[in-house]
A = this chain, B = another copy of it.
Amino acid sequence: MALGKNYEGQNCSLARALELVGERWTLLIVRDAFYGVRRYGDFLVHLDIPRAVLADRLASLVEVGILQRRRYQDSPPRDEYLLTDRGVELWSVIYPLWSWSERHYGAGEPFRTFRHATCGTELDPASRCPTCGVDVSPRDVEAHTGPGVPAQPRQDPVSVALRERPHRLLQPLL
C-alpha cells in the first residue's frame, strides 16, 4: 500500500526525488531558503504554513541532506536552516519550474525577476545569462522585484524585505 509520499513500487530516481521533495509545502520552503530565509519564525510567517507541518518538513529536509541546521544562539538554543550544497543544486529544478509557470500562467508582468548579479541581465529560461553567455550559478543570481504588482501584496517581513531592494540568492535576508 502506497502511503502519503511513498512511491516504493517505482524503480525510478524521479519517484525517489518526489518522496523527498514532493510533499505539500516542501519546495516552497526550499524556495524561501534560496531567498535567504533561515529561521523557523520567518518561514512560518512568509509561508502561512501550519507550525507542525513546517517543523516536520524542516526536520525531513535536514535528514535527507537538503538543509543543514546551524546554532545561532545558545541561550535558549536556537537553530537556523541553510541549504547544503546538495540543496543548492535544486536550483536546477526550482528555477525552470518557476520559469515554465511564469511563461505559461503568469498574469501580465512578473512580480519577480532573477538576474545575473554580475551584469544585471535577466536570466533566460535555461538559467543562462543571454549577455554573458554563461550558465549562472544561484550564488550569482539576484532576485529583483518585477514590473508586475500583486493584487494583494504580502506584508510579512520576508515579502517586505524582498520588495525593498534586490537581493542576492542564498545570502541572509533578515
Name A's B-contacting residues (CB within 8 A): 2, 4-5, 7, 9-18, 20-22, 24, 27-28, 31, 47-48, 64-65, 86, 89-90, 92-94, 96-106, 110-112, 125-126, 135, 150, 152-154, 159
CA distance A64 to B100 in the complex (A): 13
CB–CB B22/A94 < 8 A: no
What's the number of copies of this chain in the assembled complex? 2
Could you tell me the distance between the alpha carbons of A7 and B47 in the complex, rounded to whole angstroms?
9
The docked-state distance in angstroms from the alpha carbon of A13 to that of B105 is 8
A111, B13: Cα distance in complex, Å:
9
Q: List 28 A-B contacts (CB under 8 A).
A: A2-B48, A9-B48, A9-B154, A10-B28, A11-B150, A11-B152, A11-B159, A12-B31, A12-B98, A13-B102, A13-B106, A13-B112, A14-B98, A15-B28, A17-B98, A17-B105, A18-B27, A18-B97, A22-B22, A22-B24, A22-B27, A86-B104, A89-B103, A92-B96, A92-B125, A93-B93, A93-B97, A93-B100
With A and B bound together, what is the CA distance between A10 and B98 in angstroms?
A: 13
